[in-house]
Amino acid sequence: MKVRLGFVAMTLRLENCSPSKTITLKNLEKISGYEHRIGRLTAIAKENLENTLRILRANQYDRIQVYRFTSKLIPLCTHPQFRTWNYCEVLSRELKAVGDFVKEHKMRVSMHPDHFTLLNSPNPDVLQASILDLEYHTNVLEAMGLDTDTKIVLHVGGKYNQRVEALERFKSQFLHLPERIKSRITVENDDRSFTAAEVLKLCKDIKAPMVFDLHHHQVLHQGEDVSDLWPEICATWENTGLPPKVHLSSPRDDQNPRYHADFIDADAAVDFLNIIRPFDKDIDFMIEAKQKDMALIRLSQDLKARGFTMNGLAEFIL
């Protein structure tokens, strides 16, 4: 089985290469005239897309196949004030360049909306904003020319004091989404509301692939063994032709177990790999650490030092 390592959004291997540059509304308002404001936003988005392409090129050089785009590629585009901005058209060349590179090098990319995108909110305004945000993510991926293999990772959302109802509401609100959004969504277990076992059941019901977050599972669970969950998690990916995705991070310390550490605890990663090894399924290991791709490189070295067979910096064969 193959284990491919990937990382999220920002690189520390390149200088001045933020793909998430933004501008606050307050500062944008200092620019007079709608057209000038849109011009500024467009310039920032172009810079973000150029830097994203630089990151992908560096990844290609290092043979890192797995990467998550930042959600901040196009600043403020879902703000009510800029609802009519046709960013995909204005940025079509830049978006397509990114998508073409991804396809040319057979990379697997994804997106993960921020924590205020809550498909299960009982508040219609929050739901509406969440749908608009999902639409934005979908628009961008479509403009890149990436098909529904390029997934959008979501959490279930809040508990709202009624966890069962909150789960049900996710289901019904999910089912009402347009197909082009629905077909991209994968759901991840979180560390305060919904366990891996609950998300697994949800994913089976709505026929969406499940992203397994190992650290979240360690923080929030009801004693389920990973080895019991794993085959069923893999089954949710069966029709996609994609390797199941696992999120990997380590707690900063005992006081802040939910806070992401700078690097990945290789022993925890190895324990997990040993548990899933008998099932012999390829996975994508998405590293969520403060030190971003530097954490990937360190984990890679640590795995190599523990005797795992390496095929390039970011691929291991078990």
Instruction: Catalog residues that contact DNA under the rule CB under 7 A.
Output: 9-10, 18, 20-27, 30, 72, 75-79, 114-116, 118, 121, 123, 125-126, 129, 133, 157-161, 192-193, 256, 258-260, 290
* Min dist. Cβ of residue 294 to DNA (A): 12
Q: Which is closer to DNA, CB of 46 or CB of 72?
A: 72
How far apart CA 262 and CA 290 sit, in angstroms, is 4
Q: DSSP letters of 204-257?
A: HHHT--EEEEHHHHHHS-SS--HHHHHHHHHHTTGGGTS--EEEE--BS-SS-T
* Min dist. Cβ of residue 100 to DNA (A): 24
Q: Which is closer to DNA, CB of 166 or CB of 266?
A: 166
Instruction: Look at strands 283-287 and 2-8 and give their pairing.
Output: parallel
Query: Which ranges in 105-190 belong to alpha helices (H)?
Result: 124-143, 163-175, 179-182
Q: Which is closer to DNA, CB of 193 or CB of 236?
A: 193
Measured in whole angstroms, the distance separating CA 176 from the mean position of its chain's CA atoms is 22
* Min dist. Cβ of residue 185 to DNA (A): 17
* Min dist. Cβ of residue 184 to DNA (A): 18
How far apart CA 107 and CA 99 sit, in angstroms, is 10
How far apart CA 290 and CA 311 sit, in angstroms, is 25
Q: Which is closer to DNA, CB of 169 or CB of 243?
A: 169
Q: Which is closer to DNA, CB of 24 or CB of 84?
A: 24
* Min dist. Cβ of residue 35 to DNA (A): 18
Structure tokens at 144: 């890149």
